[in-house]
Amino acid sequence: MNLTSPKGDNSTVVWTRGKGCAELADLLADGTPDRVSGDPAEECISHRAGLLVARRLSGSFDLVSVAVPVDFQPDNVTRVVATVAGGPHSLLAAQTAAQLGSSLDVPSEMVSASGPDHDIASARGILDEIGTRLPGMGSRVIEVDGISELVETLDEGALLVLGAPGGSWLQRLMLGPGARLRRTAQAGAVIVRSAPDRVFRFMGEPVYVAPLRQADDTLRFHAENTLAVADEGRLIGLVRRQRLMGAGGDPVESVMEGAVSVRVDETISEAWELEPTFGEDPIPVTDHEEHLVGGLSLPVG
């Protein structure tokens, strides 16, 4: 997968049934993207997906970033244009446009529109900030009063990539009364919505010790200062190296303390709340039945 998150990590693409979804996923994926046939949340976690290509945006789904093709005509694309307004989805829009341009072998660019009474310097600053993440991508600011002028600036084969509806002037122009802009672009549009980084995307294999393992043996085989204790696949506690050092041949369970973990679908920001407890040691990652499914080492990305 070439599409990257703000942290620069690679993301797996999955897709659902819908017009244009398979074609868009193929263009965004490095390799063959996986089709989602069951519950989208479960399959996104299973595939450690970073992007879901779907036929529509669901207001309740924010597990991974989403891209929705609208009248998508890849054979007609001569240029990919990301509309950037400084909202939470602008970086993803620009990254998606860059990847599509590369896959289709056509130019890609970022465009920010400045309307009446808007600060052109601010629009330029937004483009410059995102441009530091995508140094090879062109950008421009367009001064327009309304939708008709913006339409006139687009090539006939322009594919638009824009963020999900929000409160900015540009987003209202694109997705409110100006929704006909999408229909004007002969190649269609892709609407994207960014989601926060989740634990399942960054976790590794679980690191743990069994409760009946002797403390001395654990010290020989594990260098962690704080270590998960698991029994038959379930997290049952934590054990600290300092306590193991005084336990000799006693079992780990005799000196362990209560379990602490992060859920597989929680955000990386939530996981950081446990950094004082674990430091650089892997944080136990559990599903909603307390099964130990991974270990998360901070920092990530």
Instruction: Note the pTM of the prediction, 2 decimals.
Output: 0.84
Q: Where in the chain is the domain with CATH 3.10.580.10?
A: 200-296
**pLDDT tens sequence across 217-276:** 999 999 999 999 999 999 999 999 999 999 999 999 999 999 999 999 999 999 999 999
More confident residue, 236 or 115: 236
When comparing pLDDT for 146 and 188, which is higher?
188
Residue 123 has pLDDT above 50, yes or no: yes
Question: For helices 120-131 and 90-104, what crossing angle results, to 10°?
Answer: 60
**What is the spatial distance between Cα 219 and Cα 95, in angstroms, rounded to a whole number?**
46
Report the range of poorest mean pLDDT among 18-22, 35-39, 179-183, 196-200: 179-183
Q: Tell me what pLDDT residue 2 has.
A: 42
CA-CA distance, 183 to 284, in Å (whole number)? 48
How many other β-carbons are positioned within 10 Å of the β-carbon of residue 104?
Answer: 18
**pLDDT for position 163:** 86
Strand partners, 79: 158
What pairs with residue 23 in β-bridges? none
Rounded Cα distance between 164 and 171, Å, is 8
Locus of tokens 């008709």: 148
Q: Percent helix, strand, coil in the chain (nearest 5)? A: 30, 25, 40
- CA distances (Å), origin 104, targets 94, 175, 185: 15, 25, 16
Locate CATH 3.40.50.620 in the chain: 12-195
Q: How far is CA 143 from CA 148, 163, 184, 195, in A?
A: 12, 20, 19, 30
Q: Evaluate if residue 167 carries a pLDDT over 80.
A: no
Which residues make Cβ contacts (< 8 Å) with residue 58, sequence separation at least 6? 66
52-97: pLDDT as tens digits: 999 988 877 889 999 999 889 999 999 999 988 778 899 999 999 9
Domain 12-195 has CATH 3.40.50.620: yes
Q: What secondary structure letter does DSSP report for 272?
A: G
Domain 200-296 coded CATH 3.10.580.10: yes
Q: Is the pLDDT of residue 153 over 50?
A: yes
Percent of the chain at pLDDT > 90 equals 63
Integer CA distances (angstroms), 135 to 10, 95, 127, in order: 18, 11, 11
Query: Tens digits of per-residue pLDDT, 19-34?
Result: 999 999 999 998 899 9
CA dist., res. 193 & res. 170, Å (int) = 15
H-assigned helices in the chain: 21-28, 40-46, 90-104, 120-131, 147-152, 169-175, 180-184, 199-202, 215-221, 241-244, 268-271, 275-278
Read off the pLDDT of each residue in 159-185 and give the average, rounded to a whole number. Answer: 58
